[in-house]
Amino acid sequence: MNEKERLLISKTGVAQIEYFKLNGTLKEDDDLQFSVEVYEKGKFKEELLKTWGAIETKYKDSLISFGISDISGEDHSLKLLNGIPSGLASKFYSYNMTSHSFGKLIGEKVTLEKDKPIYIAAWLGTTKNSLRTVGGENGDLPPGIEEYELAFLYKVLWTDKKEK
Starting at the edge strand found earlier in the chain, the sheet holding 87-94 runs 16-25, 58-71, 77-84, 87-94
Question: What local confidence, expressed as pLDDT, does residue 157 receive?
Answer: 94
Q: Which amino acid is at 11?
A: K
For the segment 124-141, the average pLDDT, to the nearest whole number, is: 81
The Cα angle at residue 118 between residues 115 and 158, in degrees rounded to 5? 35
3-class DSSP state of 30: strand
Residue 159 has a CB neighbour count (10 Å cut-off) of 15
CA–centroid distance for 70 within its chain? 15
Query: What does the alpha-carbon distance between residue 48 and residue 74 come to, in Å, rounded to a whole number?
Result: 23
Residue 9's pLDDT band, with cuts at 50, 70 and 90, is: low
Tell me: pLDDT of 75 over 70: no
Mean pLDDT, the chain, whole residue set: 84
Task: Quote the pTM value.
Answer: 0.87
Query: What does the alpha-carbon distance between residue 101 and residue 133 come to, in Å, rounded to a whole number?
Result: 6
The values of phi and psi at residue 146, to 5°, are -70, -15
